[in-house]
Structure formats: structure tokens, C-alpha cells
């Protein structure tokens, strides 16, 4: 009995551990079937009731005072009452168990009243004795009325108490009527029996609370997969690496791209270097246009751009289809849930609605939909850029002859010395601007390589994990605990952020110098109509080449975006399918429970001492399932 008492408390502790420590780890209360809170609370209370019953049995066996035994019986009754309460909220507790809890609850209510009646007899409270024996008999009758599937040993106990109480009641009532003539109080006015101190409590076994410590220090066993790190380590490594890459992209790459665009826009507004070429080189093709033409052909020209746009269009279509597949799954599940809710009524269809149960998936759908809408707008802007500059990019791709036909020649004129000096000064500062642009591109390229190398935060996160594990080997790890590794990695790029700010200052100075020298050049220039046309032609080709480079950069970023979001959308679609499958199983189980409760119950037969209780329908049990009539064995 002592061993059973201890085992039941540890069993209760294990169920308590599942409730408090394991279930909170499941997202949005999406518990496995049979491990919902109501089921586990029921089993937890049942184990405490069984442990308390063991303690009560020992007290009876040792002949302790009737008042103490009565208090202990009340405590057992309370545990069975809590188990009964949770069993009625669970879809996994069978009706046979509910009957068992009901009978045990009334049995110990009756036992408490009987022991209280014996105590009244010993203290000469004969009227109260009669009333408490009557309460005992009523409790026994209430328990026997719901004993259809109850095990034989339990029925034997409550029947024995029932007949004993009836015999004592007849004796006590007769003695009180003929001899003592005490007032018999109403059952409802009887003083409530005090509860004893908690004689059973949940004890979490050491091998459950700290399994690794138990296996290492007590069982002296080698831990399987001991070198495998917690999932939080891998999760943090992936998440923080992505955040680091995004941090550098937003704070360096995007900023430098903005500076290059600002420089190009400034030159475009001032019509540079086209205006210089038109004056300084009135005949032939400027060398930089030939360089731009070679660059366009080397990078695949318009065909490469069209191919890239076609690839991005396919990726965009695939992403939209995946998102719609997931959305359709969610809509189907919501429709099915609404149909079943309307069929069975809100009172009986007690599970959470589709939007609540699948909140994470619905939020993810809205987030991805926003991403795709923004990317579609960006794709439209890139297409507009291409349409504006396509004919000129085509002209650059065709080469010298096409450029020569497009750029008209003007008459050769002798340049004034002051104008020549202005042109030379402007050429020098434009050369410096171009050198600055090349420097930026090289710096960003080197930084990207460095980020790819430094982006692997896994070793640093493992180092942090080892330190945390050393301080507390059995703690539960979460990705947020490795924030320090991410912060350390960010600090390595502080100098790059400062460098960007320095380049902004440099660009401002260069642009001001270009504007200043260009004003001097314009004031000294004597241009005619032919020179103006040549200047505009050269500048339009310069702008077309800049647009070609921008479009290529935009398309590369678009390809990276779609490849990134496609993996996320595939995982989203799979999660939606799993969600629908789980909800259908959950709904099927709930519907079966509702149908079972709707079946009319057969009228209960009066119990007979000569007839065994009606056994539970055996066909409903799976092989190996424990039933109340099999008893409990340990060891």
C-alpha cells in the first residue's frame, strides 16, 4: 500500500508536468489528441484520488480515530469530484470511466458520513447519528444508481457500506425513538465535515523533471544523441544570420545604391558629360559611349534582361499559386468548420473557430500577400524603366555604326583658352566622381564577401550555448537567449556604417563642385543648334546605359527575393495542409462525441445482490486497453 501510494503521487506529478511544462510548448493550444488540458487534469486528479484512497485505507487498517478517517474520506471524495468535473469536459475519457468516478465520489461521501455517525454515537449525539446515517444511505443510493459499467470490487465495497449503514440506521433510529429521544436534524443542516490536510500531492519523478541528469548521474548511462544541440541553437543561427545579412544590406548596400543613383541623377540634370563631349569632340563618337556599348553587349544586352524578366515572371506566378493553394486550404477548413458549427450548434461545437485556431497561418498569409503585392509593384516600375530606355539600350547594343548615325557631328571650332580650362576642370571632377563610384562598388562587393564569411553565426552561438549550459545544464533553451552573439556580430560592421556616412559627405562635396564648375562652363559656352542636338543625343545614351545597369541590379534583387519567399511559401502551404488534416481529425472526434451523447440512455435496472453488474461493451476497447475491472498492478 505504501508503494502504491508513492507511485500514484509520482503518476500525478507526471501528469502535472505534462500540463505545466509540455503543453505550453505547443503553438496556439494545438495539442495532440488525448493530451488536451481537460484529459490530463482529469488523470492528474484521478491519480491524487487513488493515492489519497491508499492513505485512507491505511488509516482504516491501523484503526485510527473515526473523526480522522471521516476527514480523509472527504478529501478522497473531493479528488474524485474534480476528476469527474474534468472528465465531462474531455473528449477522450470514456463513459465507463465517468461512471467509475461518479460511484467512487458518492462512495467516499457515504464513508465520510458513516465515520462521522460512529463518532456521534461515541459522543452521545444520537439524533445527529441518525441524520448522518441517513445521509450515508442517500449517498450510497446515488452511487448505485449510476453503476452500470462499474467494476465488481467497487460495487462490492459500496454495497457493503450501504447494507451496514441501513442496519445501523434501523438500530440507531429505534434506540433514539425509544430511549434517547434526541432531535434528528435535517441533513441539510448538518455541520460540514472538515477536510483533512492534503494527504497526497503530485511528485514529479526526477527522471521526468531532469531526464539527462538522471541518466548521467544516477543511471550512469550514455545519453543518446548527446552531441546533438538543442533545436533553439540551429533556429537562432539561421534567424540571426538572415537578420545580419538584412542589416548589412539595408544599412550599407541600399545606402550606397542610393548614393550612386543620386550621382547619376545629378549628372543627368546637368546633361553631363554629354555637353562636354558635344563641345570638345564635335566629330565622331565619344570614347565613353563605345565603352558603354561594349559593356551592354558583354552583359547580354536586352536579351539577357528579357530572359531575366521572364524568369522572374515565372517565379512570381509560382509564388502566387503557392500562396493561393495555402489560402484555399484555409478557406476550405473555415467553410467545413462553419458548416459543422451550424449543424451542431455553438453550445455543442465547443472548439475554437478556424480563424482563432489558425491565427498564425492567417497572419502569415496576409504577410506573404503584402510581400507579393509590393514585389509586383516593384516589377511594374522595373518594366516602366525598361520601356522608357529600351530603344536606346538597343542602339548601344548594336555598336558603333548605330551610335554614329544617332549622334550628329557638328562643325569644328577653336575653343577659347578659358573655355578649355573650364572643360578640363570639369573633366577632372567628373573623373573623380567616376573613381568614387568605382570605389563604392568595390567596397560593397568586398563587404558582401565578408558578410558571407562572417554571416555564419553558428560557432559563436554554440559558444554562448556552452556557457549557458555550463551555468545551468538542464535549462530550457530558446532562440532569444543567443541575442548576445547577434549583437557582437553587428558591432563588427559599425565601421562600415560610419564609412557610409563619410561617403554621403564626400558625395555632397563632389556634387557641389560639379555644379559650380558646370555653371562656369555653361556661362562661357557659345552653343548653336547642332551642338545642342549632339549634346542631347550623347546624354540620352549616357542615361540609357545608367538605366541598363539599374535594371540589371533590380532584376538580380528580384530574383533573390522570389527564391527566398518561395521556400517560405512552400512551408506555408504544407503547414496549411497539416492544419486542415488535424482539424478534420479533431472535428471528427468531436462529432462522434456529440452523436454519442445524443443517443438515448437505457433505463437503469434495479440492482440486485444476487446479480453481477452489467459489464461494459467489450467490443469498444482496443487490444491492450486498461479497463476498471482488470485492477491495478505495480512492479
Place 611 in a pLDDT band, splitting at 50, 70 and 90. very low
State the Cα–Cα distance between residues 588 and 337, nearest whole angstrom: 11
224-245 burial by CB neighbour count: b if 16+ within 10 A, else e?
Answer: eeeeebbebbeebbeebbeebb
What is the per-residue pLDDT for 531?
A: 67
pLDDT in tens, 404-449: 788 777 655 556 677 778 778 888 888 888 898 889 988 988 888 8
Q: For residue 604, what pLDDT band results from cuts at 50, 70 and 90?
A: very low
Look at residue 605 and tell me whether its pLDDT is greater than 50: no
pLDDT digits (tens, 9 = 90+) for 356-373: 988 989 999 998 999 899
- Tell me how far apart the alpha carbons of residues 414 and 494 are, in angstroms, rounded to a whole number: 53
Residue 485 and residue 275: Cα distance in Å, rounded? 53
Q: What is the pLDDT of residues 133-143, one digit of tens each?
A: 999 999 999 99
- The arithmetic mean of pLDDT across residues 578-588, rounded, is 89
Alpha carbon distances (Å) from 485 to 108, 233, 237, 247, 461? 59, 11, 9, 15, 6
More confident residue, 445 or 286: 445
Specify whether the CB–CB gap between 316 and 555 falls below 8 A. no
| CA 212 – CA 441 distance, rounded (Å) | 53
Distance CA 45, CA 35 (A): 15
User: What pLDDT, on the 0 to 100 scale, is given for residue 613?
Assistant: 44
Maximum average pLDDT range among 134-143, 232-241, 340-349, 488-497? 134-143
Most confident of 200-204, 349-353, 420-424, 452-456: 200-204
CA-wise closest residue to 18 among 37, 42, 4, 45: 37
Q: What is the largest CA-CA distance in the chain?
A: 148
Q: Is 466 exposed, middle or buried (0-12, 13-18, 19+ CB in 10 A)?
A: exposed
Among 576, 595, 569, 590, CA closest to 333: 576
Distances (CA, A) of 53 to 8, 78, 140: 10, 11, 17
Say if residues 182 and 125 touch (Cβ distance below 8 Å). Answer: yes
Distance (Å, rounded) from C-alpha 81 to C-alpha 112?
Answer: 14
Q: Where residue 284 falls among pLDDT bands split at 50, 70, 90?
A: low
Most confident of 232-241, 424-433, 599-608: 424-433
For the record, the C-alpha cell of 264 comes out as: 547619376
Grid cell at residue 86: 474534468
Asked whether residue 598 carries a pLDDT value surpassing 80, the answer given is no
* Amino acid 444: pLDDT: 87
What is the per-residue pLDDT for 9?
95
* Integer Cα distance of 256 and 587 in angstroms: 55
Q: What confidence score (pLDDT) does residue 616 get?
A: 40
> How much is the pLDDT for 254?
84
d(Cα 389, Cα 326) in Å, to the nearest integer?
39
Q: Span 504-526, mean pLDDT?
A: 83
Q: Which residue bears the cell 542589416? A: 247
Q: Catalogue all structural domains in the chain, each as residue range(s) with its CATH number.
A: 1-218 (1.25.40.280)
Q: Over 60: is that where the pLDDT of 622 sits?
A: no
* Confidence class for position 623, pLDDT limits 50, 70, 90: very low
Quote the pLDDT of residue 620: 41
Quote the mean pLDDT of the chain.
Answer: 83
DSSP class of 618: G
Could you read off the pLDDT of 459-502 as tens digits, one per residue?
888 888 888 777 776 667 777 777 787 788 788 888 988 999 99
216 has a pLDDT exceeding 60 = yes
Query: pLDDT tens-digit profile of 372-402?
Result: 998 888 888 889 888 888 888 888 888 888 8
Region 575-592: what's the mean pLDDT? Answer: 88
Q: Which of 57-66, 154-163, 171-180, 286-295 has the lowest mean pLDDT?
A: 286-295
Amino acid at each position: 500500500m505504501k508503494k502504491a501510494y508513492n507511485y500514484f503521487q509520482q503518476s500525478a506529478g507526471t501528469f502535472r508536468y505534462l500540463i505545466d511544462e509540455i503543453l505550453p510548448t505547443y503553438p496556439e493550444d494545438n495539442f495532440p489528441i488525448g493530451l488536451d488540458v481537460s484529459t490530463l487534469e482529469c488523470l492528474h486528479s484521478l491519480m491524487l484520488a487513488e493515492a489519497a484512497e491508499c492513505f485512507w485505507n491505511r488509516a482504516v487498517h491501523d484503526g485510527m480515530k473515526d473523526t480522522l478517517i471521516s476527514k480523509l474520506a472527504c478529501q478522497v471524495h473531493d479528488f474524485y469530484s474534480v476528476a469527474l468535473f474534468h472528465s465531462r469536459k474531455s473528449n477522450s475519457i470514456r463513459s465507463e470511466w465517468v461512471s467509475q468516478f461518479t460511484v467512487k465520489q458518492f462512495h467516499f461521501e457515504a464513508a465520510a458520513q458513516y465515520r462521522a455517525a460512529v463518532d456521534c454515537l461515541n459522543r452521545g449525539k444520537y439524533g445527529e447519528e441518525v441524520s448522518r446515517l441517513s445521509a450515508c444511505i442517500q449517498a450510497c443510493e446515488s452511487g448505485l444508481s449510476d453503476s452500470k459499467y462499474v467494476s465488481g470490487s467497487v460495487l462490492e465495497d459500496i454495497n457493503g457500506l450501504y447494507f451496514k449503514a441501513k442496519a445501523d440506521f434501523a438500530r440507531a433510529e429505534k434506540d433514539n425513538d425509544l430511549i434517547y429521544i434526541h432531535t434528528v436534524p435535517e441533513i441539510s443542516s448538518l455541520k460540514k465535515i472538515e477536510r483533512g490536510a492534503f494527504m497526497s500531492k503530485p511528485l514529479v519523478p526526477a527522471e521526468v523533471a531532469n531526464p539527462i541528469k538522471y541518466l548521467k548521474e544516477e543511471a550512469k548511462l550514455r545519453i543518446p544523441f548527446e552531441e546533438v544541440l538543442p533545436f533553439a541553437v540551429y533556429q537562432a543561427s539561421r534567424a540571426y544570420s538572415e537578420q545580419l545579412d538584412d542589416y548589412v544590406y539595408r544599412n550599407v548596400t541600399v545606402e550606397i545604391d542610393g548614393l550612386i543613383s543620386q550621382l547619376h541623377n545629378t549628372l543627368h540634370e546637368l546633361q553631363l558629360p554629354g555637353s562636354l563631349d558635344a563641345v570638345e569632340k564635335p566629330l565622331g563618337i565619344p570614347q565613353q559611349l563605345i565603352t558603354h556599348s561594349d559593356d551592354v553587349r558583354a552583359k547580354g544586352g536586352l536579351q539577357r534582361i528579357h530572359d531575366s524578366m521572364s524568369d522572374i515572371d515565372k517565379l512570381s506566378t509560382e509564388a502566387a499559386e503557392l500562396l493561393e493553394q495555402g489560402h484555399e486550404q484555409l478557406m476550405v477548413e473555415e467553410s467545413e468548420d462553419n458548416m459543422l458549427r451550424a449543424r451542431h450548434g455553438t453550445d455543442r461545437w465547443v472548439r475554437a473557430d478556424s480563424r482563432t485556431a489558425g491565427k498564425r497561418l492567417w497572419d502569415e498569409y496576409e504577410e506573404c500577400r503584402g510581400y507579393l503585392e509590393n514585389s509586383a509593384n516593384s516589377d511594374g516600375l522595373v518594366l516602366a524603366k525598361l520601356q522608357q530606355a529600351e530603344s536606346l539600350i538597343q542602339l548601344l547594343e548594336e555598336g558603333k555604326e548605330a551610335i554614329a548615325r544617332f549622334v550628329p557631328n557638328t562643325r569644328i571650332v577653336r575653343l577659347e583658352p578659358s573655355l578649355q580650362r573650364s572643360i578640363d576642370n570639369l573633366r577632372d571632377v567628373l573623373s573623380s566622381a567616376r573613381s568614387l563610384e568605382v570605389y563604392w562598388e568595390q567596397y560593397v562587393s568586398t563587404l558582401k564577401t565578408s558578410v558571407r564569411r562572417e554571416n555564419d553565426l553558428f560557432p559563436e552561438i554554440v559558444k554562448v550555448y556552452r556557457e549557458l549550459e555550463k551555468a545551468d545544464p538542464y535549462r530550457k533553451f530558446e532562440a532569444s537567449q543567443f541575442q548576445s552573439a547577434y549583437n557582437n556580430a553587428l558591432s563588427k560592421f559599425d565601421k562600415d556604417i560610419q564609412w557610409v556616412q563619410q561617403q554621403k559627405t564626400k558625395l555632397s562635396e563632389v556634387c557641389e563642385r560639379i555644379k559650380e564648375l558646370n555653371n562656369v562652363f555653361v556661362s562661357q559656352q557659345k552653343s548653336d543648334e547642332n551642338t545642342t542636338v549632339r549634346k542631347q543625343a550623347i546624354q540620352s545614351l549616357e542615361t540609357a546605359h545608367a538605366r541598363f545597369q539599374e535594371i540589371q541590379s533590380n532584376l538580380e534583387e528580384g530574383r533573390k527575393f522570389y527564391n527566398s519567399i518561395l521556400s517560405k511559401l512552400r512551408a506555408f502551404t504544407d503547414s496549411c495542409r497539416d492544419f486542415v488534416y488535424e482539424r478534420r481529425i479533431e472535428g471528427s472526434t468531436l462529432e462522434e462525441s456529440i452523436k454519442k451523447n445524443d443517443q438515448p440512455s437505457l433505463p437503469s435496472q434495479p440492482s440486485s445482490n444476487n446479480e453481477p453488474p452489467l459489464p461494459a461493451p467489450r467490443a469498444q476497447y482496443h487490444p491492450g486497453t486498461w479497463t476498471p475491472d482488470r485492477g491495478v498492478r505495480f512492479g
